[in-house]
Amino acid sequence: MAYDFDLFVIGGGSAGVRCARIAAGHGARVGVAEERFWGGTCVNVGCVPKKIMVNAAEYGLWAGDAAAFGWDIENRGHDWAKLAAARDAEVARLSGIYDKLLKGAGATSFNARATFIDAHTLQVGDQRVTAERIVIATGGTAQRLDIPGAELGCISDDLFTMKALPKRVAVLGSGYIAVEFACLLRGLGAEVDLVYRAPMPLRGFDEDIRTALTEALTAQGIRLNPDVSPTRITRADDELLLGLSTNFVREVDAVFFCTGRLPNTQGLNLDAADVATKPNGAVVVDEHHATSQPHIFAIGDVIDRVNLTPMATAVGHALADTLFGGRPRQASYENVPTAVFTSPPIGTVGLTEAEAAKRGKVDIYLTRFTPMRHTISKREGRKTVMKLVVDQASQKIVGAHMLGEDAAEIMQGIGIAVVMGATKQDFDRTIGIHPTAAEEFVTLRTRAREAG
Ligand code: NDP
């Protein structure tokens, strides 16, 4: 049978656009449908606008520190509208680039929703198209908790359409989005309550990093509410009342549900194509990202595996090379470096101490110090923590973790070393760059403890 397309990609986010673009470059006839915005979550309501707001919050802190370095700076406050305009212009620029890249590669883009009619046929807006292969790359959406009054609360997308900084904010959850939002809103001047059900934020991260983050959050004036769940939200005049499981009530101007995201599979009519999903809606895939239909694939947040943009683009690229480039390959889900843009930021790659200790004996190297900038600024709560987790038998670095200024930038390079299988001795023989915080990673001489 002759199909309209060799490949049809549903979703124009990081995963879908990369896959479509590379496949088209390999000569495939490619169609892509996007119903909301090109570039998906990352460009429009995720990484990009969030990072711009993180940068904005940092400038406020630096302005405060500048006096210690001799600057006479008067901080007359923050102009939310100015930041929003600059942020939105950058987002629009990048989103436009995504669409242009697709067209430049020869793919046909559709500003429309796509739904399955059968395993090879899609309804795309008012057109019906057929494709030999189909990739589902529809991403995920932030979820509110099922509590009374939840509709009064915001999700992360809403931060980017707010007309002013909410003065008092409750952030629910303590995952990536929650702690980043808490820090950036605090940095821009809001009073922030972080409300989470765990004893410490960032479940799944290394315990030393979680402890350091708890201290850093407290030091910047974020009110921590551990072991607490929200029970209801009610409106009272021009404020919101957030009920807590402790029976306390917080009076706030905004409540952000940062309590997880769910894959976007509702409304795709996956049943018509016999594509299996998990109870949370994630598409079930094998190690080649094939679904229960061998010619239909799923990539990115819709499979709910490692929900990170660079992972999604790597997988999309590898899939296109495999299907159309004559170069079968897979992106590795092991040792994925990641950062959390808190204040200060966190960078991490590989295993936590607890995960590594379950696999065997490990040596732990740990340092905690005040970075030079803050020995001068005297700003409290800006300690840097760096940690290496080393497999005792092979001396390979199996985990590297950092909380401190520039952690995200530093961890990218450390990530390469870990992916290459570097040993502690490789780190030791590397000459440090002085004076930096990063050099501590190659000068950690004394083992702090053994675990496992
Ligand atoms: P996460 O899964 O990281 O965090 C969800 C949070 O919601 C956790 O604190 C969780 O608590 C809490 N939660 C879930 N259900 C409930 C409940 N019923 N009651 C109370 N609390 C609840 O999700 P995010 O939405 O923050 O982020 C989604 C993904 O997006 C991340 O995992 C990450 O992959 C990606 N991301 C990456 C960023 C980056 O690279 N910098 C930035 C932002 C997002 P508990 O821990 O106790 O389960």
pLDDT digits (tens, 9 = 90+) for 194-243: 999 999 999 999 999 999 999 999 999 999 999 999 999 999 999 999 99
Positions in the chain whose pLDDT score sits under 50: none
Q: What percent of the chain has pLDDT over 70?
A: 100
**Topology classification of domain 5-142+262-324:** FAD/NAD(P)-binding domain (3.50.50)
Instruction: Return the closest-CA partner of residue 116 out of 330, 251, 275, 335.
Output: 275
pLDDT digits (tens, 9 = 90+) for 70-122: 999 999 999 999 999 999 999 999 999 988 999 999 999 999 999 999 999 99
Instruction: Return the closest-CA partner of residue 385 out of 261, 221, 212, 127.
Output: 212
In the CATH scheme, what is the code of domain 150-259? 3.50.50.60
Cα 201 to ligand 1 centre (Å): 10
pLDDT of residue 1: 76
CB 350, CB 399: distance < 8 Å: yes
Pocket test for ligand 1, best of 177, 210, 301 (most atoms within 8 A of CB): 177
Rounded to whole angstroms, the Cα distance separating 165 from 78 reads: 10
Q: What are phi and psi of 241, to 5 degrees?
A: -110, 120
Largest CA distance in the chain: 74
Cα 173 to ligand 1 centre (Å): 7
Rounded to whole angstroms, the Cα distance separating 249 from 272 reads: 47
Pairing of strands 346-350, 397-403: antiparallel
pLDDT of residue 88: 98
* Ligand 1 atom, smallest distance to 341 CA: 41
* Ligand 1 atom, smallest distance to 229 CA: 20
Closest Cα to atom 36, ligand 1: which residue?
176
Q: What are phi and psi of 127, to 5 degrees?
A: -110, 155
Domain ranges of the chain: 5-142+262-324, 150-259, 338-446
Question: For residue 411, what is the DSSP state?
Answer: H
Strands in 113-270 per DSSP E: 114-118, 121-124, 127-136, 140-142, 168-172, 191-195, 223-225, 230-236, 239-244, 249-252, 254-257, 261-263
CB 252, CB 170: distance < 8 Å: yes
pLDDT of residue 258: 98
Ligand 1 in reach of 199 Cβ (< 6 A): no
pLDDT of residue 99: 83
Kindly list the distances between the CA atom of residue 221 and the CA atoms of 178, 202, 377, 383, 440, in Å, as whole numbers in the listed order.
Answer: 15, 18, 17, 15, 28
* Ligand 1 atom, smallest distance to 178 CA: 26
Could you check whether 5-142+262-324 and 338-446 share the same CATH topology? Answer: no
- The whole-angstrom distance between residue 428's C-alpha and the CA centroid of its chain comes to 31
Ligand 1 in reach of 308 Cβ (< 6 A): yes
The token pair at 248 is: 């306390």
pLDDT of residue 286: 97
Pocket test for ligand 1, best of 259, 306, 315 (most atoms within 8 A of CB): 259
Burial code (b: 16+ CB inside 10 Å, e: under 16) for 49-87 equals bbbbbbebbbebbeeebeeeeeeeeeeeebebeebbeeb
**Has 434 been annotated as catalytic?**
yes
Rounded to whole angstroms, the Cα distance separating 339 from 335 reads: 13
Domain 338-446 has CATH 3.40.50.10950: no
